[in-house]
Chains A and B, each alone.
Chain A
Amino acid sequence: MEKNEKTSLAVQLQTPAKRMFWMEWRGRSITYISVWIVILVLLSLLWFITSKGLQPFLNGEVTLSQFFSSNWNPQDNKFGSLYIMLGSFMVTICATIISAPLGISAAVFMTEIAPKWGKKVLQPTTEILVGIPSVVYGFIGLTLLVPFIGKFVGGVGFGLLAGTLVLSIMILPTIISISVDAIESVPQKYREGSYALGATRWQTIWRIVLKTALPGLMTAVVLGMARAFGEALAVQMVIGNVPNAPFDFFTSISTLTSMITQNMGNTVPSETFNQILWSMGLVLLLITLVFILLIRFITRRRDA
């Protein structure tokens, strides 16, 4: 008790400068720890996924050339995942082909054509689209899109086409919102200059605005692709999940994410099949990193 009083007295007698120093030091440490947590979590994630994904190759159970072949038959210990990876790429590229022009056009509409009601209606629209959880997209795809395709277009309904359509709606808001930022950052002077030269609005948009905003628009598209590439559940629900060659819109295909979600639970961790799923996760991670580096590259060129 007495001791306590003494220390509190000591604290009071301390010079304010010293106390302030400690307070500052403590605060700074808290923020420092926070950012280090972020760094540590990310590094350990990269390390764990990498080491786990490389395991089947280091154990010699599967060779890299086997992994990148098209011979997939887990019962027979054949884990050629080429078609599965291609499936991921195909569905991403097809969705982007639909979404990129639509998204950029919508962004142009919001910034150049009708800024007033474009902003008032389209902006909240995209925000709501972002908010819809991916399983809900998958559910709608499963109950609305798949039967529709099966009945009126062809095949069973499940497949590349259904996956493409679901994904294209999902990545649309990403592309729109980043494109809007890119287009808005084009200086007003450029437009005025173009109009002064007698150009029409379309000519201004096409020759000046889009050209100037190109790096930003590319970022938007690549980010959209990254999102499509990593999307799991919505795709798994509609794509059919057969590791076929992904070159026909009406056949069921498989993607890296759908393979992982479907088989992780039924396999045991020490099984080769299970380890291959981790390798697929590693491929997914690496491709995502490539997308991020690509964006860095694009934006750095703009800065220079």
Chain B
Amino acid sequence: MKIKKRILASGIIGLAFSSILVACSSGANDENNKQLTGTLTSVGSTAMQPFVEEASKSFMASNPGVQINVQGGGSGQGLTATVNDTADLGNSDIFAEEKEKIDASKLIDHKAFVVGIAPVVHPQVGVTNLTQQQLIDIFTGKVKNWKEVGGKDQAIVLVNRSESSGTRATFAKFALKDNQEFRGNGAIVEDSSGTVRKIIGQTKGAIGYLAFSYIDNTVKALTLDGVQPTNENVTTNKWLVWAYEHIYTNTNGKNKQLEDAFLKYILSPEIQNGLVKKLNYIPIIDMKVERDASGKLK
């Protein structure tokens, strides 16, 4: 069926446009020289895109024969493209195992760095700490006013991420204990961290969640059950709400040598202590605990 469709599709395209387009797909060179050459395509998570772009820029600078082509598209696209081997590197905010329909056995997981995520509020809600149960009550809509959790008499405004967002998945899983009642009934769903921060900073009674790297003095990060949202606490898993940022490769990838070189570069101290820290993420080499796809500590 699928093949039939594919033939039909290519037939139509061919019929209509073949005379006009001269096909010329990227020609990757497979050379076994010391000098690395070739092309890598990296697709996936928009949150990781700036990091991968920066890392690939410096990688290309020291390896002039290499071209790394970094695209966004979202974690889902990244995983699919890597399984289908249309991309070499698939960037994902979540474990491949968490997407039911992805054949994770075809993928190799490389954890690039860690992000901590914290609940943040408008600075004047009068609350600095919440228990996890209170947080769940707020995000499931059971608590609608800040005074019910010890704050001011101010209605709670929820700022959320789209259902398919990785940040949202992490927050739901670890901050809200995978509560099924948690759904999109917030005041607004935004995918841009910058906009989320702006809205929370401007809207009285607003609460949302942000990666540590976006938290500044316009918003206030809450402590959860008395635990501070710091990089330190993430490395020991005292702060529970964090996630790996993954770069996946296909087990039968066609550019193995180049992939390995690039991933080695990502995990090198130069990037981990340099770029990762500069962007306020947590280096993977600092982690004292390890978590599997189901969220259990190893």
Contacts and interface: CB of A to CB of B under 8 A. Distances in A.
A37 B72 contact: no
A277 to B, nearest CB: 9
Interface residues of B, number: 41
Interface string A253-286: 0100000001111111111011000000000000
A44 interface: yes
A41 B11 CA distance: 12
Nearest to B80: A268
A273 B202 contact: no
Nearest to B79: A268
B184 interface: yes
B126 interface: no
A241 B189 contact: yes
A262 B189 CA distance: 10
Given A156-B157, A156-B203, A271-B99, A74 B163 contact: yes
Closest 7 CB pairs of A and B: A265-B74, A266-B164, A270-B101, A266-B74, A241-B189, A268-B76, A74-B163
Interface string B56-97: 000000000000000011111101100000000000000000
Contact of B162 (A40, A155, A241, A271): A241
A268 B180 contact: no
* Most chain B beta carbons < 10 A, residue from A155, A254, A268: A268
Contact of B100 (A48, A74, A252, A271): A271
B100 A242 contact: no
Contacts of B79: 268
Contact of B102 (A72, A158, A243, A268): A268
A158 B188 contact: yes
A155 B187 contact: yes
B172 interface: yes
A41 B203 CA distance: 48
A107 to B, nearest CB: 37
A244 B183 CA distance: 11
A37 to B, nearest CB: 5
B223 interface: no
Contacts of B187: 155-156, 158, 240, 242, 251-252
B101 A73 contact: no
A75 interface: yes
B72 A265 contact: yes
B141 to A, nearest CB: 12
B186 interface: yes
B203 A150 contact: yes
Interface in B168-200: 172, 180, 182-191, 199
A159 B16 CA distance: 42
A274 B102 CA distance: 13
Given A155-B187, A241-B190, A266 B162 contact: yes
B12 interface: yes
A262 B74 CA distance: 10
Contacts of A37: 15-16
B250 interface: no
Contacts of A252: 186-189
Given A156-B187, A262-B162, A76 B74 contact: no
9 contacts: A44-B8, A44-B9, A75-B172, A156-B157, A241-B188, A242-B189, A254-B184, A262-B162, A268-B99
B160 interface: yes
Contact of A76 (B180, B185, B189, B202): B180
* Most chain A beta carbons < 10 A, residue from B76, B180, B203: B76
B101 A44 contact: no
A158 B73 CA distance: 24
B249 interface: no
B156 to A, nearest CB: 12
A73 B179 CA distance: 12
